[in-house]
Amino acid sequence: MRLAALSAAIVPLASLQAEDGYDLWLRHAPLEGESLARLQAHDGEIVALNPDEPTVALAISELRAGLDGLLGKADRAAQTGSYTAFRFDCDHPAIAPGGAFRITPADRLLSIDAAEPVGCLYASYAILRELGQGADPSTLALDSAPAMPLRMLNHWDNPDGHVERGYAGRSIFDWWHLPERLDQRMIDYARANASVGINGVVVNNVNARAFMLEPRYIAKFARLADAWRPYGIRVYLSARFSAPMDIGGLTTSDPLDPQVAAWWRAKADEIYTAIPDFGGFLVKANSEGQPGPQDYSRTHADGANMLAEGLGDRGTVIWRAFVYSAEDETDRTKQAYAEFVPLDGQFADNVIVQVKNGPLDFQPREPFHPLFGAMPKTKLMFEGQITKEYLGFASHLAYLAPLWKEVLGADTGRGGPVTKSVAQVIAPAGMAGVANTGSDRDWTGSDFDQANWYAFGRLAWNPALSSESIAREWAAQTFTRDPQALGTITAMMQGSREAVVRYMTPLGLAHVMDTGHHYGPGPWVCDLARPDWNPCYYHRADGEGIGFDRTPAGSDALAQYAPDVTAQWADPATVDPRYLLWFHRVRWDRVMPSGRSLWADLVHEYDAGVAAVDALARDWQTLAPHIDAQRHRAVAENLAIQQVEARWWRNASLAYWQSLHGLPLPAGAAPIPESLADYQRRAFPEAPGQ
Ligand code: BDP
């Protein structure tokens, strides 16, 4: 039966060989038909002015290997003809430095120009990306430059191999065996990053261990830096602010103490001796129990500037704005703005302040962070979370480009007569993504989560790309080039994050997940020691209504946005319903624009989310003829988990809201199969990533 179905669809068997996802989007599966014929006609020698320079050599070898894959050549060293088909000039004066490249087609020749070798490497990957989607090499013209200088991954990986908020196995970094042993994965990882333009990697958790600054670790970082340098990737470290005391024998870490500053300067010198192109430090300070300058009544600027001076013009301090304090009782979403805006203009030139996409914490949906646009004299960097701590871990399909695009494209309402979008605000600095990689064979814990790594890099290169086009190019390289199948996959991806929002946190709700591991619903959690760790703090639901009043009558967090932005969100009658309960407290019986009550609208949202996941599972089934069985099954199994868990979110959340107001479910809504107590009893002490 199954064979008959396969042959009926005339699917080439080669593309259906079992795959385990290890090759990511760099599979370079053989082309077919016309696109294959066109590439065969074009193929020839690859030449470069300086072919032995390590990065140029990579640009050539990556292009050759990729072309051979696309051409279906089993023998990768196969003879390629006697004329030049690709010519690299990686020292071209007319191209801007920083990774830009230009590809110009002529008669059976692609000229590739860049100012630096890394631009040529990026060009190789771009050519393969285009050809891999069936582009015609004889007309392939590209002029591309990165939109921002820093395109980074932040690994929350601990030295013992555990990954905080990691859902793809253990850490990919084998610190125990470094520097002597360098896993091949470290090279494959660098290729994957370079192929989407990622050029910086923070290798350890922001909740940092000070001992990672000891000499034995510096040797390990140096080995990685050497391996990644040809791929244009610089190593950065998370630094624990109290390191001078923890490992340096000092009695203080006060940033204004000359001994402390001298300790960090010496530490920086030591690192630069081993890693001449070391990127710099990432610091989480005075946040969630981490030490910082405020322990000495100093400011974030005092702390950051002291470290920046130690690095000098050799590197950058990336200082996180994710701060909120146990003692501060103001709305948690207001605290970063309140602490950082007064410091605008005080940070040294080589300091960047890294701001999460929203003011809370990587929720399925948040409005953009009010700091974007509010610190015009400071370089601000965007921090997104590629790993899906709050969006169903690795088993739920949630393509995150639409989430990031929503923020990058937001108009901050600030920046002059022509106001700036978030993407424009961060352009002088960059984007950081909390990595979702791990030791799992497929790297990211699921096939579709690879798309989030890919999309993050592509958006950091060019935030103007549409999430749809990124999904399509990723899927074409990862799964299949069949146009109809691609249309289905792209549509699935495009709607997937919204589905998660609807069954987890509809209408602007946030932070309603269970405690600690953040797996599954826990809107009933109200008794944690810190108020701002309780879901109840965020949804504020009772018998009358639900939602966080952030208008002037409430916390007035709205006032942190520019007036035009505030105006869009100020009125519960006109606010975009996606942000309704984020900014407003609304009565359960309020009549909504739909004509239904808020309660009925909320039920509708949860149900729409569940239905959307059912549709994802159905759509995926139709793709069986186009996807190799191993990956098809893996995705199908994840979708089955998601179907169950979407219902869990819906039912547990509704049971809790109902326990507050006692209203019946609207007519036609599916009954809730278990009692609230049953949902509350579920416990997952072993959930990953904690
Ligand atoms: C939260 C995570 C926590 C991180 C923190 C951070 O739950 O594990 O340490 O963010 O960004 O989302 O520092």
**pLDDT tens digit sequence for 41-79:** 999 999 999 999 999 999 999 999 999 999 998 654 555
pLDDT band at 5 (very low <50, low <70, confident <90, very high): very low
Q: Are strands 150-154 and 200-202 parallel, antiparallel or unpaired?
A: parallel
Q: Which residues are catalytic?
A: 288, 361, 389
**pLDDT tens digit sequence for 399-421:** 999 999 999 999 999 999 999 99
Based on C-alpha coordinates, what's the Rg of the chain?
A: 26
| Residue 626: exposure state from Cβ atoms within 10 A (0-12, 13-18, ≥19) | buried
* DSSP H or E run through 201: strand 200-202
* Domains located in the chain, CATH noted: 2-144 (3.30.379.10), 150-478 (3.20.20.80), 502-548+585-680 (3.90.1330.10)
Q: Is 475 helix (H, G, I), strand (E, B) or coil?
A: helix
DSSP secondary structure letters along 554-590: TT-GGGGS-HHHHHHHS-TTTS-GGGHHHH--EETTP
- Which residue, among 51, 75, 56, 171, has the nearest Cα to 121 in the 3D structure? 56
Please give the number of the atom of ligand 1 that sits closest to the Cα of 164: 8
Which residues are CB-contacts of 545 (< 8 A; sequence separation ≥ 6)?
585, 586, 587, 588, 590, 598
**Ligand 1 pocket test, candidate residues 154, 322, 325, 538, most atoms within 8 A of CB:** 322
Distance CA 263, CA 145 (A): 39
**pLDDT tens digit sequence for 326-338:** 888 899 999 999 9
pLDDT band at 8 (very low <50, low <70, confident <90, very high): very low
**pLDDT tens digit sequence for 546-590:** 999 999 999 999 999 999 999 999 999 999 999 999 999 999 999
**Ligand 1 pocket test, candidate residues 158, 389, 434, 514, most atoms within 8 A of CB:** 389
**pLDDT tens digit sequence for 606-649:** 999 999 999 999 999 999 999 999 999 999 999 999 999 999 99
284 lines ligand 1 (CB under 6 A): yes
389 lines ligand 1 (CB under 6 A): yes
**pLDDT tens digit sequence for 242-270:** 999 999 999 999 999 999 999 999 999 99
User: How much distance in Å is there from the Cα of 125 to the middle of ligand 1?
Assistant: 33
**pLDDT tens digit sequence for 164-193:** 999 999 999 999 999 999 999 999 999 999
Which residues are CB-contacts of 278 (< 8 A; sequence separation ≥ 6)?
221, 225, 234, 235, 236, 237, 271, 272, 314, 315
Mean pLDDT of 385-390: 98
pLDDT band at 85 (very low <50, low <70, confident <90, very high): very high
**pLDDT tens digit sequence for 649-664:** 999 999 999 999 999 9
pLDDT band at 11 (very low <50, low <70, confident <90, very high): very low
Angle between helices 215-228 and 184-195 (to 10 degrees): 50
User: Which tokens belong to 54?
Assistant: 């390590």
| pLDDT above 90: percentage of residues in the chain | 94
pLDDT the model gives residue 615: 98
User: How much distance in Å is there from the Cα of 356 to the middle of ligand 1?
Assistant: 11
User: Looking at the predicted structure, is the pLDDT value of residue 359 above 60?
Assistant: yes
| pLDDT above 70: percentage of residues in the chain | 97
User: Which tokens belong to 178?
Assistant: 């470094």
Residue nearest to ligand 1 atom 12, measured at CA: 361
383 lines ligand 1 (CB under 6 A): no
User: Looking at the predicted structure, is the pLDDT value of residue 677 above 50?
Assistant: yes
361 lines ligand 1 (CB under 6 A): yes
pLDDT the model gives residue 18: 80
User: Looking at the predicted structure, is the pLDDT value of residue 320 above 50?
Assistant: yes
C-alpha dihedral (292, 298, 299, 300), degrees to nearest 10: -30
User: Looking at the predicted structure, is the pLDDT value of residue 4 above 50?
Assistant: no
pLDDT the model gives residue 307: 98
**Cα atoms in the Cβ-side hemisphere of radius 13 Å centred on 350:** 17
User: Looking at the predicted structure, is the pLDDT value of residue 9 above 80?
Assistant: no
**pLDDT tens digit sequence for 274-292:** 999 999 999 999 999 999 9
Mean pLDDT of the chain: 96
pLDDT band at 80 (very low <50, low <70, confident <90, very high): low
390 lines ligand 1 (CB under 6 A): no
Q: What count of other Cβ atoms lies within 10 Å of the Cβ of residue 137?
A: 22
